[in-house]
Amino acid sequence: MITQKELSEILGVHQTTISGVLSRRPGVRVSPETRRRILEAVEQYGYKPSLQARILRQGRSQLIGVLNFMPGNQGLEKMLRTVEMLQEKGFSPLVNEIFRPERAMESLQLFLDLKVSGVILKSLPRPIADQLKKVLLEMPVPAVCVEGAYIEGLPWVYPDKAGAMEELTLGLIGKGYRRLALMPSWKAGSVPVPNYSHAQELTRGFQAAVEKSVHRLESVEIIRKLVVSQENDPSERNFCNGRETTRQLIAERRNLPEVLICNDDPWALGAMTACFEAGIKVPAEIALTGFGNSQAGRFSPIALTTVNQPLGEMIRRAVSILCAAIEARTKPEPGMIKVPPCEVIYRQSTRVVTDEQESV
């Protein structure tokens, strides 16, 4: 296999120029003709850059470690966008999906052993954030968090979930719903941590909307008595939580809320399944909403009203912050970067059903 040195001698071009063109490193100045010659020679001779040589030469690779704490279908779109944007910047993403919390530290250490140039942490849970905090703050490469828990000392890119939930709740009230229930992912008896969390932000937005419209409402409830599924597959756990909790709600109550605002799309689809099983018509007898605008929610038998998050912009911001820090060989400025806006999308699960329309 041809080496970079040999390729340099064939082309009469310095190795640094070849490396800069192939890695698409920002700031590399090269004429279009030289770039064309390099790329054609790489194709002709089958040159493959040596990761080991790059690490020895630069003390780092062009690898970016991505720790994804939302494995399965829920986190797939976010992961793919991260990969695409990093590749556009000339980096090679090394993605590790965390199914078991105890493997998080091991995965982070693997990234450091491979001399990654930076780390992106997606949907980091609070308990794991506390475990990783010291390592993340002291490691020699920059890191950026997207959603999940906030770690003081790191940049954290997050969407305005509270604002979106307030908008959704006010919209439902505007459509005539008067008996509302929110089903966030808090276990019975748990106390919300004084940090950002998905459930906390949804609750905050819901309560803000209720305060503005309390005179128009008949009943308002935040459901705390949840049935937590023992499903081992994380990608199915939220669906099972929504189904089992809604089954319990149906079994215990004579009067259901007019609309059940669920923690996310999988919870809402689980709730919809429980309603189907009990013969309860959606949305004629109970309306359902999710959060996240998942593919499953878009194409379910009754399309799900939901909230679409600005995933593209969140990932773009995170990748931009990380790449700038890598180029400057420094740590990024810490702080909270809120990315608005989220978009409320109304679909069949909350529409008004007439006698002529079918409802499952």
On whether residue 356 sits in a domain, the answer given is: no
Q: Given this model, what pLDDT does residue 16 score?
A: 81
- Total domain count for the chain? 3
Residues 263 and 198 in one domain: yes
Residues 62 and 145 in one domain: yes
pLDDT digits (tens, 9 = 90+) for 191-230: 444 456 888 899 999 999 999 999 999 999 999 888 776 6
Q: How far apart are CA 108 and CA 294, in angstroms?
A: 28
pLDDT digits (tens, 9 = 90+) for 70-123: 765 556 666 777 888 888 888 888 888 877 777 889 999 999 888 899 999 988
Please report whether residue 35 resides in a domain. Answer: yes
300 and 271 in a common domain: yes
Contacts with 203 (C-beta within 8 Å, 6 or more apart), sequence order: 182, 184, 192, 222
Mean pLDDT confidence for 307-325: 92
H helices of 89-185, in order, are 104-113, 126-138, 161-174
Residue 276 has pLDDT above 70, yes or no: yes
Tokens 């199915």 locate to: 236
pLDDT score at 220: 94
Length of the chain: 360
Same domain, 138 and 64: yes
Whether 153 and 171 map to the same domain: the answer is no
Q: Compare 102 and 129 and report the one with higher pLDDT.
A: 129
Would you state the pLDDT for residue 360? 37
Helix (H) or strand (E) holding 11: helix 4-11
- For the ranges 37-46, 177-186, 269-278, the maximum mean pLDDT occurs at 269-278
> In this model, does residue 354 exceed pLDDT 60?
no
Give the structural domain span for 100: 58-159+310-342
Cα 121 from Cα 322, distance rounded (Å): 11
Place of tokens 């992106």: 120
165 and 292 assigned to the same domain: yes
Tell me, what's the pLDDT at 71? 62
Residue 19 has pLDDT above 50, yes or no: yes
Classify the C-alpha dihedral 105-110-112-117 as positive or negative.
Answer: negative
Q: Residue 355: inside a domain, yes or no?
A: no
From CA 292, how far away is CA 239, in angstroms rounded? 13
- pLDDT single digits (tens) 154-175: 999 999 999 999 999 999 999 9
| Sequence-separated (6 or more) residues with CB below 8 Å from residue 159 | 147, 309, 310, 314, 338, 339, 340, 342
CATH code of residue 89: 3.40.50.2300
Amino acid identity, position 180: L
CA 213 to chain centre: 31
**108 in the same domain as 10:** no
Does residue 68 belong to any structural domain of this protein?
A: yes
Residue 153 within any structural domain of the chain: yes
Same domain assignment for residues 207 and 283: yes
- Evaluate whether 284 touches 359 at the Cβ level (below 8 Å): yes
Same domain, 301 and 165: yes
Q: Angle at CA 264, nearest 5°, toward 99 and 344?
A: 135
Burial bucket for residue 213 (CB in 10 Å: 0-12, 13-18, 19+)? middle
Domain assignment of residue 360, yes or no: no
- The reply to whether 171 and 305 lie within a common domain is yes
Percent of the chain at pLDDT > 70 equals 85
Radius of gyration of the chain (CA): 25
* Residue 231: predicted pLDDT: 60
Half-sphere exposure (Cβ direction) of 171: Cα atoms closer than 13 Å: 19
> What pTM, to 2 d.p., does this model score?
0.76
In a domain, 358, yes or no: no
Report d(CA 296, CA 89) in Å as an integer.
Answer: 31
Per-residue tokens: 350: 């909350």
CATH number at residue 23: 1.10.260.40
Q: What is the structure's pLDDT at 145? A: 94
Interatomic CA distance for residues 55 and 62, integer angstroms: 9
Same domain? For 105 and 173 the reply is no
pLDDT at 202: 94
Paired tokens of 330: 């420094």
**315 shares a domain with 304:** no
